[in-house]
Amino acid sequence: MLRDNEERLSLRGSASDKPPTKVSAKIREILTENLATDDLDLPQPGSIGMATPTLGSLTEENRLLQSELNRVEDLLSASRAERDEIGIKYNALSERVSDRISERSNQFMSLTPYTVEPQN
Residue type, 53: P
What pLDDT is attached to residue 110?
A: 79
- Give domain status of residue 120, yes or no: no
* Secondary structure letter of residue 120 according to DSSP: -
- Rounded CA gap, 9 and 102, in Å? 89
> Higher-confidence residue: 112 or 78?
78
Structurally, the chain folds into a number of domains equal to 2
pLDDT tops 50 at residue 1: no
pTM of the complete model beyond 0.75? no
How many beta carbons lie within 10 A of that of residue 16, not counting itself?
6
- Note whether 87 and 59 are same-domain residues: yes
> CA 98 to CA 104: how far, in whole Å?
10
Residue 69 domain-assigned? yes
Note whether residue 79 is domain-resident: yes
Region of 43 (left: φ > 0; alpha: ψ -120 to 50; beta: rest) is beta
Same-domain pairing of 25 and 72: no
Question: Based on the domain organization, do 32 and 60 belong to the same domain?
Answer: no
Residue 16 lies in a domain: yes
Does 47 map to a domain?
no
Over residues 5-41, the pLDDT tens digits come to 444 555 565 666 666 656 677 777 777 777 665 555 5
Do the Cβ atoms of 43 and 49 come closer than 8 Å?
yes
49: in domain: no
Same domain, 58 and 35: no
What is the domain extent for residue 3? Answer: 1-39
* 61 plus 34 within the same structural domain: no
Backbone angles phi, psi at 49, to 5 degrees: -70, -20
Is 91 a domain residue? yes
- Under the banding of pLDDT at 50, 70 and 90, the label for residue 109 is confident
Residue 83 falls inside a structural domain? yes
pLDDT tens string 52-97: 889 999 999 999 999 999 999 999 999 999 999 999 999 999 999 9
